[in-house]
Amino acid sequence: QLQLVESGGGLVQPGGSLRLSCAASGFTLDYSVIGWFRQAPGKEREGVSCISSSGGVTNYADSVKGRFTISRDNAKDTAYLQMNDLKPEDTAVYYCAARRLYVTYCGTKLNEYNYWGQGTQVTVSS
């Protein structure tokens, strides 16, 4: 069974940091594009960041540029989203997604991905 499992969410104060992990099981991430998305209550799911299959290309939403960093460790079949200087507006359920395609680019549109995790809650509040 092909699965993505997120972890690392939680409650953090504004200005704090969290690192989310996305572990793949049933397949390797070597030849996959990976994206991180988030969905706040009452809002549509939006793309946050992505990383190409090779890891050489990354993209970020304007709202998280300079604060979030996406990375991957193919040896561990795991991707990460390091989130620094968190703000209350970052509060959402965060999802990782993958598409098994070896490409040197990535995008943050929902329909570009066909494997999704179950999500992990991130709450930024004092």
Reading the chain (126 residues) residue by residue, the pLDDT tens digits are: 789 999 999 999 999 999 999 999 888 888 899 999 999 999 999 999 999 998 889 999 999 999 999 999 999 999 999 999 999 999 999 999 999 988 899 999 999 999 999 999 999 999
The region that residue 76 occupies, defined by phi over 0 for left and psi between -120 and 50 for alpha, beta otherwise, is alpha
DSSP code at position 44: -
d(CA 11, CA 79): 21
- Structure confidence at residue 103 (pLDDT): 87
Q: Which of 120, 118, 115 is nearest to 33 (CA)?
A: 115
